[in-house]
Amino acid sequence: MTEASVREFKMPDVGEGLTEAEILKWYVQPGDTVTDGQVVCEVETAKAAVELPIPYDGVVRELRFPEGTTVDVGTAIIAVDVAGGAAPAAAPADVPEAPAQAAEEEAEPQGRQPVLVGYGVAQTSTKRRPRKGADVPRQEPAAQALQSELNGHGRAAAAEVAATRPLAKPPVRKLAKDLGVDLATVTPTGPDGIITREDVHAAVAAPAAEPVPQAAPVAPAAVPAAAPAAPVAYDTARETRIPVKGVRKATAAAMVGSAFTAPHVTEFVTVDVTRTMKLVEELKTDKEFAGLRVNPLLLISKALLVAIKRNPEVNASWDEANQEIVQKHYVNLGIAAATPRGLIVPNIKDAHARTLPQLAEALGELVATAREGRTTPAAMQGGTVTITNVGVFGVDTGTPILNPGESAILAVGAIKLQPWVHKGKVKPRQVTTLALSFDHRLVDGELGSKVLADVAAILEQPKRLITWA
């Protein structure tokens, strides 16, 4: 076997612009034979779990990272001998680690509980492992300039340079920009003083800090070498620490970014949906819906689509870079779904062009796929408006946060029998409360009110689905 016959398979960008993914499970081991198209591992990105096929035939020579490791896109994760030679049977966990990192991993608190159905918490550190063959962390040009200052002018001058330009990788700088975080105010925890994603999120979550008095100047010779921070002890019998990563981590970042970027306005309306509930029962027996799931969400979705058709300006997005409002002539209808991996929002592409049976079929497929954990990143891209059905949990209503990049989100509360004035008399009627949150940069109060009023009017008199469509 020659080195020329060894091919390295790199972590691909399985979404749109994703920068990293966590290896959830290896399906092969060193020495196994693989064929072109065979799935070799499952990874979790910030959007979904995805199976990765190998693009060539051969024998597995090495797995570069163990399960539970977060790996940058473009990093080799598996080596395959395409000549078919035998491979050493060493598992990636046997690769020795740097003493400092090993010490940190030994200090990791134990007793964490699984957070994903079908997967346990990896028994490895959540810190990234150093790239193979690299004893020194990769530095950006700014970090190299800092090292030059250390060598040529001493630590004091280097500290001054570091204060003028915080060190961070481009994806981290973009994240900070999206979340409105000034990197100069972030405390770095990465090697060589580099700011990490976690540092940016910590800066967003932390309350406003009290002014800290300036420390007295320290002579260059007195500056101690950087040392790993001591782990914080906590009571494992009374607390459980769950790593925030994958879909949950991405959702948290997206919600923070949305809440502090788009000015939210939420309006509410309580409506009698008795006629809509009767129509749902009638459609269940209609042969056009044979084999399809018919429920109130179907008619609520159709009502929102009709309201958007009557008020097309609501279906838009904000282009910050070009300072433009982008009006969409299509509706990709997002449906918020609670899954074992966390909350995700897949969307039905071109929902506006679907008939009611086609919409029912698409909703059924979307929900089933989400529950099985098979939602693809593409299915969660490009949404324009979203519906979140909090009523399934018995909740009356809420103030939903916009899905990033979208103009509006409709929350549907529980449908309950309530006393209601109907034709001049108080009668028990099926009643629900709707809440519409919208981006006030795109949607003013009049437009938002019209959309919400139209949805309510259709649900009160579902024959409007015909007269208004």
By the 10 Å C-beta count (0-12 exposed, 13-18 middle, 19+ buried), 136 is classed as exposed
Q: Is the pLDDT of residue 207 over 70?
A: no
> Which alpha helices (DSSP H) does 311-336 contain, by range?
none
* Residue 77 parent element (H or E): strand 76-81
Task: Give the model's pLDDT for residue 251.
Answer: 72
Question: Which CATH superfamily is 264-467 part of?
Answer: Chloramphenicol acetyltransferase-like domain (3.30.559.10)
Q: What is the pLDDT of residue 455?
A: 98
Strand spans (E) along 102-212: 167-168, 194-195
Q: What's residue 228's pLDDT?
A: 59
Q: Looking at residue 238, what is its pLDDT?
A: 82
- Does the structure show a pLDDT above 60 at 73? yes
- Would strands 385-389 and 333-335 be described as parallel, antiparallel, or unpaired? parallel
Question: How confident is the model over 439-456, as a mean pLDDT?
Answer: 96
The domain limits of the chain are 3-94, 141-208, 264-467
How does pLDDT run across 380-407, given as a tens digit for each residue?
889 999 999 999 999 999 999 998 889 9
The answer on pLDDT for 281 being more than 50 is yes
Residue 241 has pLDDT above 70, yes or no: yes
Q: Which fold has domain 3-94?
A: OB fold (Dihydrolipoamide Acetyltransferase, E2P) (2.40.50)
User: Over the stretch 13-52, which tens digit does the pLDDT of each residue have?
Assistant: 776 567 888 898 999 999 999 998 899 998 887 667 788 9
Distance CA 149, CA 217 (A): 18
pLDDT at 122: 37
Answer with the residue of higher pLDDT: 149 or 68. Answer: 68
From 153, 201, 329, 440, the catalytic residue: 440
Question: Is residue 440 annotated as a catalytic residue, yes or no?
Answer: yes
Going by the DSSP 8-state scheme, the letter that residue 275 receives in this structure is H
Contacts for 320 with CB less than 8 Å, ≥ 6 apart: none
Does the structure show a pLDDT above 80 at 444?
Answer: yes
- Identify which has the larger pLDDT, 148 or 312: 312
How would residue 89 be classed by pLDDT, with cut points 50, 70 and 90? very low
Nearest Cα to Cα of residue 261 among 400, 403, 387, 399: 403
pLDDT top residue among 220 and 313? 313
Does the pLDDT of residue 148 top 80, yes or no?
Answer: no
The strand pair at 20-26 and 70-72 is best described as antiparallel
**Where is pLDDT greater, at 243 or 110?**
243
Whether the model clears a pTM of 0.75, i.e. scores above it, the answer is: no
Please determine, for residue 453, whether its predicted confidence score (pLDDT) is greater than 60. yes
Average pLDDT, integer, range 254-278: 89
* pLDDT over 70, % of the chain: 73
The yes or no reply on domain 141-208 and CATH 3.40.50.2000 is: no
For the segment 272-278, the average pLDDT, to the nearest whole number, is 98
